[in-house]
Amino acid sequence: MTEYRLISFETRKLNREDFNSDKIDAGEIGAGHTVTALYEIVPVGSSGRLVEDLRYKSDEAAAPAEAKSADELAFVKIRYKQPDADKSTLIMTPVTTADEVPSIEAADTDARFAAAVAGFGQVLKGGRYKGDWLIDDAIALAEGARGKDPFG
């Protein structure tokens, strides 16, 4: 992966150096609740890059770490605390090509609905990354991913 962008959590950005600190809050999620974070990624070799490489890197933190395998696209690290805990627990996992789906239509219902909601938000914000996406595209994707909706 050469670039990535977290979609719709602009107010919850965390400085890289603060990730390991249990004193810094990046957002509260209550027990029993779930959150979906969507990232737009640009794979190595893609023509979709928006930012060119830095000519000079001031430190090694500016350079991405090498993937452990050729099929690794990203590496996810999440920290969480139990409701009564003071110290957080770290979960880490690679995202590999085995996690890919060939198209948005092949993605599961939850992923398609989340993408529709994020796309809707990008259109409302006049987002520069939305391309030619319109409200009607968001509605069509959401309607196709609605799943069971017993209460309408």
Q: Tens of pLDDT along 58-115?
A: 555 555 566 677 888 888 888 888 888 889 899 999 989 999 999 999 999 999 999 9
The single residue listed with the structure tokens 């690290």 is 77
- Backbone φ/ψ region at 131: left (φ over 0), alpha (ψ -120 to 50), beta: left
> What number of helices (H) and strands (E) belong to the chain?
2, 4
Band of pLDDT at residue 2, cut at 50, 70 and 90: confident
Backbone angles phi, psi at 25, to 5 degrees: -100, 125
Q: CA 116 → CA 83, 132, 133, distances in Å?
A: 32, 14, 10
Question: Is 0.75 surpassed by the pTM of this model?
Answer: no
Query: 25-29, 41-45, 143-147: which range is least confident on average?
Result: 25-29
> What pLDDT is attached to residue 59?
55
> What pLDDT is attached to residue 48?
76
> What pLDDT is attached to residue 116?
95
Backbone angles phi, psi at 65, to 5 degrees: -70, 150
pLDDT digits (tens, 9 = 90+) for 121-148: 989 988 788 889 999 999 999 999 987 8
